[in-house]
């Protein structure tokens, strides 16, 4: 993804393309495969790859802004950390608690045959399937 596209992506979602956002966006979105990360891991990776430095709060702000704009999804797993996922399509996850690793599962690879009705007055927003792994 070219710099100009990053600019577009940010601007079209109402985010000013600041130096920090552009750098973070380039790092996150210029890749073919899905990328899972926590704020902490992203911070470390950015520190390695770039010369600029980022306040931790900036990474939190940016990642949440990207999420709000629909460029990232958030995945909550057992444990204290929040993971983010560059795969924003509807999909599911394997979770390997040994390695604390998330692995995407395509939505088509999980077929649910039967599901209960939502309680009165409520609707189903989405269904998340977590497959926990062991060795």
Q: List interacting residues with its own copies (CB under 8 A).
A: 74, 76-80, 94, 96, 103, 105-106, 109-116, 118-119, 121-135
Residue closer to DNA, measured from CB, 71 or 118: 71
3-state secondary structure of 32: coil
**Binding of residue 61 to DNA (CB under 7 A):** yes
Going by C-alpha positions, the residue among 60, 67, 16, 68 that lies closest to residue 42 is: 60
Going by C-alpha positions, the residue among 67, 68, 75, 113 that lies closest to residue 94 is: 75
Going by C-alpha positions, the residue among 104, 98, 112 that lies closest to residue 131 is: 104
Residue closer to its own copies, measured from CB, 54 or 95: 95
**Binding of residue 31 to DNA (CB under 7 A):** no
Residue closer to its own copies, measured from CB, 55 or 118: 118
Tracing tokens 């380039």 back to the chain, one arrives at: 26
Cβ 25 to DNA, closest distance in Å? 10
CA atoms within 13 A on the CB side of 88: 11
Q: Residues in the site for DNA, rule: CB under 7 A?
A: 11, 14-21, 38-40, 52-58, 60-62, 64-65, 80-82
């Amino acid at each position: 993804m070219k710099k100009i596209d990053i600019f577009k992506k940010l601007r079209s979602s109402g985010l000013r393309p600041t130096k920090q956002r552009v750098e973070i966006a380039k790092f996150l979105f210029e890749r073919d495969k899905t990328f899972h990360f926590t704020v902490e891991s992203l911070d470390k990776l950015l520190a390695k790859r770039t010369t600029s430095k980022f306040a931790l709060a900036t990474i939190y702000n940016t990642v949440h802004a990207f999420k709000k704009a629909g460029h990232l999804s958030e995945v909550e797993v057992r444990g204290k950390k929040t993971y983010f996922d560059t795969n924003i399509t509807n999909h599911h996850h394997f979770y390997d608690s040994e390695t604390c690793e998330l692995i995407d599962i395509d939505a088509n690879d999980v077929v649910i045959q039967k599901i209960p009705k939502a309680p009165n007055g409520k609707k189903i927003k989405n269904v998340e399937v977590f497959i926990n792994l062991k060795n």
